Structure 1
């Protein structure tokens, strides 16, 4: 049987997260404390729907337990940062057993602030705890840089998988072949770039999971910046155009669902990449980023319509975005067999 990555809306066994510890992303005690409150809020929101395992650095479990409560399982392993979507494995299934894809991780393109000696080993640690075999890949890639529909289609971004900081010697064809071999996909849709703010200090250089994601086979959500003053006004139009003219692995023309960006444009003088696309689907629930913004309820309504059998839970994600990501970036699903 071929291993494939199930879509995020398929049933989960559990969710994996990583606990923030002292590192360059959280440069002082106040920032670290805020981050831990934010991560804990997400963990509690997800735990209402399915089991959560939180990986903590050695000696950090007590601080995690105090905030996440008794319902979250804690596992101690060496960590550098706390973005489990990217440092953890991508779980795949052949229908009867799971395996864990261990992508090569280099600190989001060997960024000067990043450390990854420990994080590059977390995928294997998670796989070991989960009791599943590891499929190693030499492709530099992260979980936030891919999104699948469960029927053979995967979304990728030119500036990530083909960026010189990650895979300078790989051709587009070679990247696609490796992605398809690991995820069981057959059709890649390439987006030209990610959101503007994602190319800042702590950005990923274009992860797909804040700009576009599948909501169902043939249905794709797109971050839509409606204010021409923000550079993502043009970016989101371009991305929507690419997806609206694309066909998936089954030959369907994609239905594009616009999800309006929050109304705020800048934070501390920098363009924000606040995005509702960076949500997390769990068993019976949607954990959705909120920003104390008028569009929070608009986005919640869109997700309630698209996922009528799931409860939408809003969690303030501004602190998480300040560190370089969102709710999807700090969670990783383990599918149920």
Structure 2
């Protein structure tokens, strides 16, 4: 039986968490030169913010790195009682994509893990075998059953409303560098069977600088069952204008399972975030919803405050926590990309 047939589903991110999982950055290929050291203080502040409301489970590449991490956390005033460590060899830091997908069954009060395959966004950044092995290792650590569908799927490519709908992008999940043997209909069946969904909605593409082929978590996010924030670009000369406008028009045509149109809140893009002439995929949509609040990446950018104000209105019952990510973004991802939530049951 598939997880869906057993009554399991992937809950919305605002469902209460037991913990958030992270894979501590150590690969200086992703943050070249001194950039790994420069991004680390921002990453530690991210851990500190999550730890205000839940456990933070950290995959550490080695005992030596764990010792260093503990020192950095103590220096930042993080409560170590909120931190759990697993020593696992890892290739990179993007736990949203290589980490476990946790399913819940509210009727039986059970959880299980989906062990999707992971190939570093179409084989772009080998090696990735250590990251691909993490879901099973975490399932073993938590003594949870797991299921392996045998297809490539990344957590950043899917967005959930907690009521049977998953939102994704054609440019990523239909890319032949993921599952070339599967049709769109077959991919939709995997999404429904293994995430416990009843509906798949598709936008077109992602933003400039995103090397994942267009992950949804940089463009469109659910904030409740029938409302999304959708990134928009008002500068018609900007490279992101056309694709974000196309996505917006597609969102306006969508209908949820109950027949409702989506409520759409337009979220500005930051002014282009460049590092060394490289346009990074800076986006305010790459936030993490956790027990402590909504952790939003900001970039010391003219549009930061406007985005914060909009997200505060979108999440009236949650604290919005803006944190600088202008060094983290060099790795071509931000807070949502770096994390994967573990729900309570």
TM-score category of the 2 structures, normalised to the smaller one: over 0.9
- Equivalent residue of 1:60, what SS? helix
Equivalent position of 1:268 in the other structure: 276
Deviation readout 1:129-177 (Å, 9 max, x if unpaired): 2221111121211100100101111111112111011111110000000
* Residues 1:285 and 2:290 aligned together: no
Asked whether the 8 Å contact 1:20–1:35 carries over to 2, the reply is no
Choose the corresponding residue for 1:97, options 92, 95, 110: 110
Provide Cα deviations, 1:59-113, integer angstroms capped at 9, x if missing partner.
21012112233242222111100111111011111111111111100111001x3
The equivalent residue for 2:338 is 330
Instruction: Report how many aligned residue pairs link the two structures.
Output: 331
Match of 1:43 in 2: 47
Residue 88 of structure 2 is aligned to residue 77 of structure 1: yes
The two structures, once aligned, show a CA RMSD in angstroms of 1.4
Structure 1 alignment gaps of length 5 or more: none
Tell whether the 8 Å contact from 1:21 to 1:81 is kept in structure 2 after alignment: yes
- Using the size of structure 2 for normalisation, the TM-score is 0.92
SS where residue 9 of structure 2 aligns?
coil
Whole-Å separation in 2 of the counterparts to 1:22 and 1:190: 33
Is the 8 Å Cα contact of residues 280 and 330 (structure 2) preserved in structure 1?
Answer: no
In structure 1, distance between residues paired with 2:273 and 2:322? 20
Residues 49 and 292, structure 2, Cα contact 8 Å, conserved in 1:
no
Return the TM-score normalized by structure 1. Answer: 0.94
- Deviation, 1:23, is 4.5
Q: Where does 1:1-337 land on structure 2 (aligned, <5 Å)?
A: 1-28=6-33, 30-58=34-62, 59-69=64-74, 70=80, 71-95=82-106, 96-111=109-124, 113-198=125-210, 203-264=211-272, 266-337=274-345
Alpha-carbon separation, structure 1, partners of 2:41 and 2:67: 14
Q: Is the 1:280–1:287 Cα contact (8 Å) retained in structure 2?
A: yes
In the alignment, the residues of structure 2 paired with residue 268 and residue 205 of structure 1 have an alpha-carbon distance, to the nearest angstrom, of 22
